[in-house]
Amino acid sequence: MPDGKLSIDGFMCVYDVSLVPGRTWEKQNETLAAILQNILKLKKPVVLVTSKNDEACEPGVREAERLVQRKEFKGCIPIVETSSHDNVNVDQAFCLLAQMVDKTKARIKVANYAEALRIRRETLDFVTEAFTQLIRIHVLDHKEMWSAASKRLCHYPEWIKFVQQFGNDGTQVVFRRHIRRLKEERSAKKLRKQLAKLPQVLSRMQLPTEELREDDW
């Protein structure tokens, strides 16, 4: 920041659509309307980002839409429905603002929260299935350690994508679950082998019937 000056190219105005006790939508809209008016005076692009859509209430969603449809804002401020908890539309909000700053004509089309959440869940399911299949194929020893497995498999696309979505901790959780399953399968296999021998063992232990006389009991 030369001379202590900060250059700002665009703004994100966050609108909480969850229900908060003691907070009225009218008061929130008044405050945000004043903020948006000041931003527009700077002639800088702005995106209204609704947050906590995973906890959204209908009045909050409607009030956010009503705010950007005001006469002084209409057509100037796009709205993006997000949830940081579910990681829905967060990247898309930043991408849209960047395109507005660059004055890109062909801008991304951001899905509404419900559609974006559906796509997000489908993506996570696909990534999880691919990762699970990877470790089922390559991790067969119930004694294998996380450090060795991660070093051996970290270059696979399925591993990389899973870590990107769930983090290193989430990856370890699935790996340990797989190791636990391998141990359970090994124990079950060992038990089945022992049970298969049981009839033969019992047969060998059985005494001849002629030796079982009444006076022996």
Q: What is the pLDDT of residues 122-150, one digit of tens each?
A: 999 999 999 999 999 999 999 999 999 99
By three-state DSSP, how is residue 75 classified? coil
| Token pair of 167 as six digits | 């983090």
Instruction: Give the pLDDT mean for 50-62.
Output: 94
Report residue 213's pLDDT band, with 50, 70 and 90 as the boundaries.
low
Cα(95)–Cα(98) distance, rounded to whole angstroms?
Answer: 5
Mean pLDDT of the chain: 90
Q: Please state, in angstroms and rounded to a whole number, the distance separating the CA atoms of residues 15 and 158.
A: 36
Integer angstrom CA distances of residue 36 from 51, 91, 200: 17, 22, 84
Residue 195 binned pLDDT confidence (cut-offs 50, 70, 90): confident
Percent of the chain at pLDDT exceeding 90: 75
CA distance 168 to 146: 11
- Rounded Cα gap, residues 48 and 120, in angstroms: 21
Alpha carbon 65 to chain centroid, angstroms: 27
Per-residue confidence at 211, pLDDT binned at 50, 70, 90?
Answer: low
Please choose, from the candidates 82, 73, 79, 62, the residue with its C-alpha nearest in 3D space to the C-alpha of residue 36.
73
pLDDT at 69 over 50: yes
Residue 217 pLDDT level (bands cut at 50, 70, 90): very low
pTM of the model: 0.76
CB atoms within 10 A of CB 96: 23
CA-to-CA separations, 85 to 16, 138, 141, 203, in angstroms, rounded: 13, 32, 36, 63
Instruction: Give the residue-averaged pLDDT of 153-165.
Output: 96
- Inform me whether the pLDDT recorded for 199 exceeds 80: no
H/E element, 104: none
Q: Answer whether residue 209 shows pLDDT above 60.
A: no
- DSSP E strands in the chain: the ranges are 11-16, 46-51, 79-81
Q: Which residues contact 134 (CB under 8 A, 6 or more apart)?
A: 153, 156, 158, 159
How far is Cα 161 from Cα 134, in angstroms, rounded to an integer?
12
Give dist(CA 158, CA 134) in Å, integer.
7
pLDDT above 50: residue 212: no
Contacts for 112 with CB less than 8 Å, ≥ 6 apart:
81
CA distance 17 to 66: 12
pLDDT in tens, 79-120: 999 999 999 999 999 999 999 999 888 889 999 999 999 999
Q: Which residues share a beta bridge with 50?
A: 15, 81
